[in-house]
Structure 1
Amino acid sequence: MEKHFNKLLNIISFRTLLIVVLIVTGILQFFLMLGNIRGTTYDIQAFQLAPETIRAVKTVEDTVKTEQERDNAENAVEPVYVFNDETAHNRSSLVTSIFDILLDVRKDISASKEEVPIENQVHQLQDKLKDITDSQSQLNFTDSQLQSLLTANDASIATAKTFLVNLVETTLKEPIRTDDVAQVRNEIESRIRQNDTLDENLFSVLAVIGRAAIVETEVLDEERTEELILQAREEVEPTRILQGQIIVQEGELIDREVYRQLELLGLLNSHTSTKPVLGLFIFIVLQMAFMYILFDRSKTDLEKRRKALFVTAIVYSISIILMKLLSLLSDQFDMTIAFLYPTALATMLVRLLANERAAILVTVLTAASAGILFHEGYAAVLQMDIALYIIFGGLSSVFFMRSMEKRSHLLKACGIVLVSNFLFIAFYLLMSQSDYELVELLFYAIAGITSAVLSGALTMGLLPFFESALGLLSTMRLIELSNPNHPLLKKLLTETPGTYHHSVMVANLAEAACEAIGADGLLARVACYYHDIGKTRRPAFFIENQMSGINPHDSLPPERSAEIIISHTSDGAALLKKHKMPKEIVDIALQHHGTSTLKFFLHKAKDEGKEVDEAAFSYPGPKPQTKEAAVINIADSVEAAVRSMKQPSMEKVQQLVHSIIQSRVQEHQFDECDVSLKELKKIEEVLCETLNGIFHSRIEYPKEG
């Protein structure tokens, strides 16, 4: 079953798995919380008598009345207009331009030696005026009007020009709004036709010019007006129906307004299902969206992300179930039994089994869900006291107890949670400004203690289950495996002391390098302790264990020597599996040499003139699959090489480390893991620093006296 499940996980993409897990988690949460979002409702209709006195059980804004008041305030705002001083000058200049063009055409015609027909004169004037008439929609001259301009005498034209320019300029110096333009144009035309000094043949064309010249001089300042409208609307205080306010007295008629208020408050049977359910749906979608972002943007390897996702989803679901059970019992007690909930349970489990970021997110999401699950009445959307209680308890276990590498650390974390619970309960009791009896105070004290103790006890109890069911390797488990009293480490120390010392040295190097590139330093250290456990099968065949100076390889053919050396990876993996060691450590035991070649025995075989199958002198692999395995691959070779150096100096160590890493890259040993060249450079730097600290030359102190 497990094999088929893992095969299925490898087929589907992580995003698909993430979406499926979050949908399942969200659906479970939705149905668990659905019963906690409904309140007291009434089966009543409009225009019937109220069966009892109904009060508002929450404070809500009466948006209808608020909007009415704001509309009234908006309608009372006077529009702001801005007068344009330049309009009079611009429009009078337009009139002047028309007459100037007319005079230029008349002058050209007079200067012509040939007699120009009047029709041609009209067309010529039309062409000259085309730019102006195209831009001014009101300027539509007929042929007869243009003909009257061309045939009038100079004195009439001059009089008309002066009169019309002055009339337009004088008129436009007064405020004229868009609605007044038509009236002012009529007045302009009337004044033109009543003027005795003008040639009556020019009345029609002057009226067209005068009307076209008149435009609004005072325009609406929409931006300023909108600001005043917004200001007026914002100054209107929202109309609210206050909690406890009587909506209708018993026996009174429920009119349309009362019915609308009851509907707004959600007190009618026919109006209670849609909004809270939709709100709960949005609430859960928002929570799942945060989880999606957290895991989708995670930079850890695929296997770790999968396990962290399953842990987070399962722990979060368990938290919801526990809170649901408590909420079902809350009606049987007068006191708030929600304070019994283990506030740091979800936080500590996810912190130990996944990572700190996921633990913080789960704390916030659990607290928010608790606000709904422990919600009482309609006094607020969320029961904020319980939500804050869980947030403070959960986060205290993360921020005030950063290390949880030992069981004693977990107990200390419970102590910190206990202090946080007590402080928050004290805040809660003091802020409520009520007088509590001794029994109630005793209950809240016991609740705070129970919450902290359950947080630690359930974490300790559930931890092995998660580790076994999901194949997880927690920090605590790694610390246990690093204990020198572990049977395999005892075996390594007693049977292969040289290998044990080598493993400890490699562990120091690998841990420092892993922490520098953001990999799991603790996993690397523990895996190094066990990576050469296979050498315990034939200890004397490995140089670090050859204390007598006798090398058994001297009497063996190179093929057999290579076979013995190469087999220590598979022997080690078999021994680790026999002792039920975590998969991560078994994998590193297999991968720490990748598919590299035993060049010494390969060259020895070639020197003996044998036909060589290079595969027989190469490790079977697989190549390193994780950053930790890649780092151990490098550190293992580097430590052995530097240890064999005579008088190691900083420059020699640096050159050696660089050459080993380059050799691994050229052999494509890191093609199957996500270690980058930048990270390899960082690994090189850290290894050089650490090695120089280990193999530094002893300082010669001056002799005394």
Structure 2
Amino acid sequence: MFKTAKKLFTSLKFNYFSLFIISLVAIGLFSFMYDSVKQETYELHEFKISPKTIRSLKTIEDTVKTEQEKRRIENEVTPFYQFDEEVSKTRQAIAASLFDFIIEEKKANIPDPENPDKLVKSRSEQIEEVRNKFKKLEKEEPGLRLTDEAIASLLTAEVSDLTKMKQEIVSIIGEELSKPVRSEDLSAVRYEVERKLRSSEAVPPAELQTMITLGRSLVVETETINKELTDKRIEEEKNAVEPTRILQGQVIVREGQFIDSEIYRQLELTGLLTNQSSYKPMIGLILYVLFVSAIIYLHFATWRTDNYQKKKSLLIAIAVFFILVIIMKLLSLIDKEFDVQVAFLFPTALAPLLVKLLLNERLAYMMTIVTAATAGIMLLEGFSAIMQMEIALYILFGGVISIYLLGNNGRRSNILRTSLVVSVSNILFVAFYLQMTQSTYDLSELSFYLIAAFASGILSGALTIGLMPFFESFFGILSDMRLIELSNPNHPLLKKVLTETPGTYHHSVMVANLADAACESVGANGLLARVGSYYHDIGKTVRPNFFIENQHGNLNPHDELPPEKSRDIIIAHATDGAELLTKHKMPREIIDIARQHHGTSFLKFFFVKAKELGQDVIEDDFRYPGPKPQTKEIAIISIADSVEAAVRTIKEPTPDKIAKLVNSIITSKLNDGQFDECELSMKELRKVERVICETLNGFYHSRIEYPE
């Protein structure tokens, strides 16, 4: 079954494989995160007692309260009053016109000198005449009223008295209406007009009541409301009203409190009742999961490497991610039991450390961002609306710092050193968080947060070291720690090389030194090259005496063998080595080095020997089966292997001789197309050539002759 799964894994196209795996990831992630975003609701009834204290889970505008506040403001806004100076002049003119009508009528009704008691017009005719003239004023001023008795009383007064009364009332009205008079001031002003008329000597007692009636009717508002400006002011004041909000975390009802209509309305508004289950959080979570899935897919789809490596890397990244999600879930479950944020215990650097050590730095950054965002949602505490931002930033900063500090050194000591620095970084972030919250914390809470921040960093390193062997074993990953273990001279295969082929062992160590230095100069994996070099010729242990470095004396078995047989033995050490390493379940990278380090190189010595014996042979029959080096590390090992073997043949090696030899070997391999399938550039080849020469010059430097 395992073989079938492996075959399916290898044959399935990456696009289909990634879509299938990421779909499973999306379903799993949604299942883990749903409880974190699902809004809690309560089965409550109006006019009942609340069984618990309930707070709002979000900030929302209370439109009813906002509208009530606007209506209150509208009622309280001071109207915009406008004073009209013309009102006083108009009322004075009306008063003067009235008296002019009376005086004019009196003058027109002069008695006959021969019969003084006989008037031209009767009194009723005079009243009717004055009334007709006064009608126009009454239409324009509905409040202005004079009875027939009042007109008759004025008609009996002397013209001189009428003139004085006219002047007096015009003066009083002008004085009182020259000031702002509002509707609420009318009674007071009318009273003041009456008081002045009563105390005036210009008003005869017989006409006083008529004058008071007339004076009071002449008093009107001089300062009225400007509706347009008032409405504008009301609108401005209403627009300035801040919306009334129910704040996130605000207590809506306390335990044991009676749920009246207003409280029930607020519970409905905030969606806290069981009959108001919202689909918004679910839709939002689906969108988030799709977003994360798209990021993961795009990362791997744009990664330029072979499909097998991408598939394996995808599974590793997903495995790491779900380990972190499980940790988040556990923390979210226990967080409710404490008054402090247990989320600060989350190992901030675990994701980037594992992913960078197992895969690469680019993927480590992506996983750090996705982990931080997911933790911000899953580790929600209290009443955060979308995510716990301080937790997301805490994980993001800790993760980024760990990536920078780890570098390319995957040794345990470096991982622990990195985790210690991450702990310090976490402590600094927690200190920043505690200061920004502006809350008061007691000593036990402060101690917890500091210990949690420190433990987070240490846990990151400890879990990384603890989980690495499982990933390496299950996925067949070659990490730095695994390489260091393989470089131990006590490893069974290295012991085999040392005891059975000591010459090959020495040769391998020399090749390792050359390859390591050269790889580091071009940014390749020097540690992989060193360890791979230790094992690259392990196939020679099958027939050790057929390789010159293991031969003693002048006996060479190849002298007694035909060229074809010698060819087969020499070529077989590459495939024998690969098979031996496969049998011992060595990493694929080490096996590839053993199989590819000769590429399709030409065994010229035995080809020429066969030609000299008169055999009809072709060049391709005397080439290694390959494949050609597929990586920079294997190409550099192939150069180092050839150079180290060839430099032994130089008598009294000098820097010039070494440089010419190295250049000729590299040029020969380049012309033979041995570097066609790896990403080693010409610029990098020149660096490799220079570093190998420098290293060899260190090996073969001149020595002082000591006296006997």
Given that 2:36 and 2:378 are in contact with CA atoms closer than 8 Å, whether structure 1 keeps it comes out as yes
Given that 1:54 and 1:250 are in contact with CA atoms closer than 8 Å, whether structure 2 keeps it comes out as no
Q: Does 1:548 align with 2:549?
A: no
In the other structure, the counterpart of 1:135 is none
In the other structure, the counterpart of 1:566 is 571
In the other structure, the counterpart of 1:3 is 3
Given the superposition, is the C-alpha separation of residues 56 and 560 from structure 1 closer, same or farther in structure 2, using an over 3 Å criterion?
closer
Given the superposition, is the C-alpha separation of residues 646 and 699 from structure 1 closer, same or farther in structure 2, using an over 3 Å criterion?
closer
Q: Does 1:15 align with 2:39?
A: no
Given that 2:349 and 2:460 are in contact with CA atoms closer than 8 Å, whether structure 1 keeps it comes out as yes
1:629 is aligned, of 634, 637, 641, to 634
Instruction: Give the Cα separation in 2 of the matches to 1:303 and 1:510.
Output: 26
Uncovered stretches (5+) of structure 1, i.e. residues with no partner: 67-231
Residue 685 (structure 1) shift: 0.3
Instruction: Give the Cα separation in 2 of the matches to 1:274 and 1:654.
Output: 74
Residue 577 (structure 1) shift: 3.1
1:418 is aligned, of 419, 423, 437, to 423
Instruction: Give the Cα separation in 2 of the matches to 1:327 and 1:440.
Output: 18
The residue type equivalent to 1:337 in the other structure is V
The residue type equivalent to 1:481 in the other structure is L
Instruction: Give the Cα separation in 1 of the matches to 2:64 and 2:524.
Output: 58
Q: What's the CA shift string for 1:447-475, capped at 9, x where partnerless? A: 34543443333322221111111111111
Residue 499 (structure 1) shift: 2.6
Given that 1:467 and 1:474 are in contact with CA atoms closer than 8 Å, whether structure 2 keeps it comes out as yes
Look at both structures and tell me which one has the larger radius of gyration over its CA atoms: 2
In the other structure, the counterpart of 2:459 is 454
The residue type equivalent to 2:690 in the other structure is E
Given that 1:638 and 1:660 are in contact with CA atoms closer than 8 Å, whether structure 2 keeps it comes out as yes
In the other structure, the counterpart of 2:622 is 617
Residue 8 (structure 1) shift: 1.8
Q: Does 1:333 align with 2:338?
A: yes
Superposed, 1:115-154 pairs within 5 Å as none
Q: Secondary structure at the match of 2:402?
A: helix
Q: Does 1:346 align with 2:351?
A: yes
Given that 2:642 and 2:665 are in contact with CA atoms closer than 8 Å, whether structure 1 keeps it comes out as yes
Superposed, 1:152-551 pairs within 5 Å as 239=243, 241=245, 242-243=247-248, 253=261, 265-269=270-274, 271-515=276-520, 518-546=523-551, 548-551=553-556
Given the superposition, is the C-alpha separation of residues 376 and 606 from structure 1 closer, same or farther in structure 2, using an over 3 Å criterion?
same
Q: What's the CA shift string for 1:219-241, capped at 9, x where partnerless? A: xxxxxxxxxxxxx9xx9898472
Residue 354 (structure 1) shift: 1.2
- Identical residues among aligned pairs (%): 53
The residue type equivalent to 2:400 in the other structure is L
Given that 2:341 and 2:381 are in contact with CA atoms closer than 8 Å, whether structure 1 keeps it comes out as no
In the other structure, the counterpart of 2:612 is 607
In the other structure, the counterpart of 1:28 is 28
Residue 605 (structure 1) shift: 1.2
In the other structure, the counterpart of 1:692 is 693
Given that 2:10 and 2:308 are in contact with CA atoms closer than 8 Å, whether structure 1 keeps it comes out as no
Instruction: Give the Cα separation in 2 of the matches to 1:530 and 1:276.
Output: 56
Q: What's the CA shift string for 1:368-387, capped at 9, x where partnerless? A: 21111121233332112322
Superposed, 1:575-590 pairs within 5 Å as 575-590=580-595
Worse overlay, 641-650 or 542-551: 641-650
Given the superposition, is the C-alpha separation of residues 401 and 342 from structure 1 closer, same or farther in structure 2, using an over 3 Å criterion?
same
Residue 666 (structure 1) shift: 5.5
Q: Secondary structure at the match of 1:332?
A: coil
Residue 271 (structure 1) shift: 4.8
Instruction: Give the Cα separation in 2 of the matches to 1:29 and 1:457.
Output: 25
TM-score normalised by L of structure 1: 0.66
Residue 323 (structure 1) shift: 1.1
Given that 2:535 and 2:590 are in contact with CA atoms closer than 8 Å, whether structure 1 keeps it comes out as yes
Worse overlay, 586-595 or 539-548: 539-548
Residue 628 (structure 1) shift: 2.9
Given that 2:332 and 2:379 are in contact with CA atoms closer than 8 Å, whether structure 1 keeps it comes out as yes
In the other structure, the counterpart of 1:682 is 683
Residue 62 (structure 1) shift: 7.8
Given the superposition, is the C-alpha separation of residues 50 and 528 from structure 1 closer, same or farther in structure 2, using an over 3 Å criterion?
same
Residue 331 (structure 1) shift: 2.0
TM-score normalised by L of structure 2: 0.65
Worse overlay, 559-568 or 246-255: 246-255
The residue type equivalent to 2:279 in the other structure is T
Q: What's the CA shift string for 1:264-298, capped at 9, x where partnerless? A: 64435455432111211222222223323332333
Instruction: Give the Cα separation in 1 of the matches to 2:288 and 2:455.
Output: 30
Given the superposition, is the C-alpha separation of residues 321 and 515 from structure 1 closer, same or farther in structure 2, using an over 3 Å criterion?
same
Given the superposition, is the C-alpha separation of residues 379 and 597 from structure 1 closer, same or farther in structure 2, using an over 3 Å criterion?
closer
Residue 429 (structure 1) shift: 3.9
Instruction: Give the Cα separation in 1 of the matches to 2:16 and 2:63.
Output: 42
Give me the CA root mean square deviation. 3.9
Residue 599 (structure 1) shift: 1.5
The residue type equivalent to 1:297 in the other structure is T
Q: Secondary structure at the match of 2:336?
A: helix
Worse overlay, 455-464 or 265-274: 265-274
Given the superposition, is the C-alpha separation of residues 653 and 14 from structure 1 closer, same or farther in structure 2, using an over 3 Å criterion?
farther
Given the superposition, is the C-alpha separation of residues 462 and 700 from structure 1 closer, same or farther in structure 2, using an over 3 Å criterion?
closer
Q: What's the CA shift string for 1:601-643, capped at 9, x where partnerless? A: 1110111113436565332333334343333333322443344
Uncovered stretches (5+) of structure 2, i.e. residues with no partner: 67-235
